[in-house]
A and B are shown apart, each in its own frame.
Chain A
Amino acid sequence: MFDWLFTDDWFPKFDWRWDYAWEILPRLIEATGNTLIAAAAGYLIALVLGLAFALAQRSQNRILTFFVREFVEFIRSTPLLLQIFFIFYVGPQFGITLSPWVSGMIAIGLHYSCYLSEVYRGGIDSVPKGQWEAATALNMTTAQTYKRLIIPQAIPPAIPGLGNYLVGIFKDTPMLSVIGVAELIHTANAIGSETWRYLEAYTIVGVIFLALSLPAAGLIRAFEGFVRRKLGM
């Protein structure tokens, strides 16, 4: 396995061709756009659905709470890849044909909504009890209490968690390639099978992922500060 180390001609095996890298770069940048759109769309679904799951788990209805809890656990302990296949292939069996984009967005949105519901739950739990009591004292309805008091205060502490899962979704979008969404890995696969050169395409994809996800942590922290200031916390 390591005998290449002891020959003197291993360096040319790198065989990195800049002209070829430049040639495929525009296609990969276009695919980056698709990856970002997929991540953003999946995230929006997850944000809304996650909040719904978090609120449902706080409901007085024991049966609803139980089923949502079990559903969240089920989705969290099974692979996203399998869920993508499930949603994409099971629909047609019952006469519902979903496009790769739609089924991919549903799968990613659903998968991550279960993670986000836990983040929301932590945020809501961190709101001091006095706030609930004050809302009751002011005769606010439950809906008003959540909308005007609890959720605005629950969001800032949840932002780091919410942001991490945005990066998580971004890094999981390559799985959409299996059902034919033309994101980064799908494009790199196509390039590789056209020319039998995988080195440049996969390496550029890796670098694009690094370049976009490394600054994310700093941006999330800055955004949390911004939201806290806006809400006067």
Chain B
Amino acid sequence: MSLFEFLSQYWPLLMSGTGVTVAQFLLGAILTVGLALVFGLMKMSSNRAIKGSAVVYIEIFRGTSLLVQLYWIFFVLPLFGVTLEKFTAGWVAIGLNAGAYGAELVRGGIMAVPKGQWEAATAINMSAARRMWRIILPQALVNMLPAWGNLMVEILKGTALVSLISVADLMFQAKQINASTYLSAQIFGTALVIYYILARFLLTPFMRWLEGFMARKLGRA
């Protein structure tokens, strides 16, 4: 079977898998950003209980593997009465894992904002929340966006693991097609190229654009 015939036969399956991969990525990325923001700020708190719980979250999810977390959430959490559907378990595990890495990026980005900015905001009588939202976070965002670009690629790559709990993503479809045709080079090669296109020609340019856009917004470009 030529590569063209092969692709025209399996294209619909591959595309539906790619759709699931993109959905897992988007949901996981949104959860990551939310968790990173919350726990990154919590880790900077002076309240020891708040700071402590952020440290526990970050260390647990950075200290163990994504696969271990995924299996734990999918197989063990039901014993505690929390049963997540496999699709949900997938992006929740990805978000929890990447959120811990993202929290450190948020903290680093905020710490890199010059001290004078904090003082100036206090001097013009801004409340702590307003200061964070209007002055500190926008500058921190520009500081940390390059690192977020890498984390986003890691999230996309992480979505491949959801195939191991039978979410029908691109990796899963590739495995299924491989099992029925044994055309491993063709199918796994095609899947590699699809992931590469998603990461290199869609995700990375978007993050670059976002970096430039945010920098212009802040009048830095």
Contacts and interface: CB of A to CB of B under 8 A. Distances in A.
Interface of A: 1-5, 10, 13-15, 73-74, 76-83, 85-86, 89-90, 92-94, 171-175, 177-178, 184-185, 188, 192, 198-199, 202-203, 205-206, 209-210, 213-214
Looking at chain A's contact residues, the main secondary structure is helix
Contacts, number: 129
Interface stretch (B45-53, B115-123, B189-197): B189-197
B2 interface: no
A174 B81 contact: no
Nearest to A91: B184
Interface stretch (B28-36, B132-140, B171-179): B171-179
A20 to B, nearest CB: 13
**For chain B, which range describes its interface: under 10, 10 to 19, 20 to 34, or 35 or more residues?**
35 or more
24 contacts: A3-B81, A4-B82, A77-B196, A77-B199, A78-B157, A79-B158, A79-B161, A79-B171, A81-B163, A82-B188, A85-B175, A86-B189, A89-B178, A94-B185, A172-B65, A173-B65, A174-B67, A175-B161, A185-B67, A185-B68, A188-B71, A198-B75, A202-B71, A202-B72
B64 A82 contact: no
B72 A82 contact: no
A5 B82 CA distance: 10
Interface in B120-164: 153, 157-161, 163-164
Given A15-B79, A209-B64, A74 B196 contact: yes
B63 A81 contact: no
A205 to B, nearest CB: 6
Contacts of B171: 79, 81-82
Most buried by B among A13, A85, A90: A85
Interface string B58-74: 01101111111101100
B80 interface: yes
Given A82-B160, A86-B189, A185-B67, A203 B76 contact: yes
A174 B67 CA distance: 7
Given A4-B80, A209-B64, A81 B188 contact: no
B16 interface: no
Contact of A78 (B66, B67, B192): B192
A79 B188 contact: no
Looking at chain B's contact residues, the main secondary structure is helix
A94 B189 CA distance: 14
A77 B188 contact: no
A19 B93 CA distance: 29
Given A82-B195, A89-B178, 20 more contacts: A1-B83, A4-B81, A5-B81, A79-B195, A82-B171, A82-B174, A85-B174, A85-B188, A90-B184, A171-B66, A172-B65, A175-B67, A175-B161, A178-B164, A185-B67, A192-B75, A199-B76, A202-B72, A202-B75, A213-B64
B70 to A, nearest CB: 10
B178 A205 contact: no
Contacts of A74: 192, 196, 200
B192 A82 contact: yes
A86 B63 contact: no
A126 B59 CA distance: 30
A89 B178 CA distance: 9
A101 to B, nearest CB: 18
Most buried by A among B159, B183, B189, B196: B196
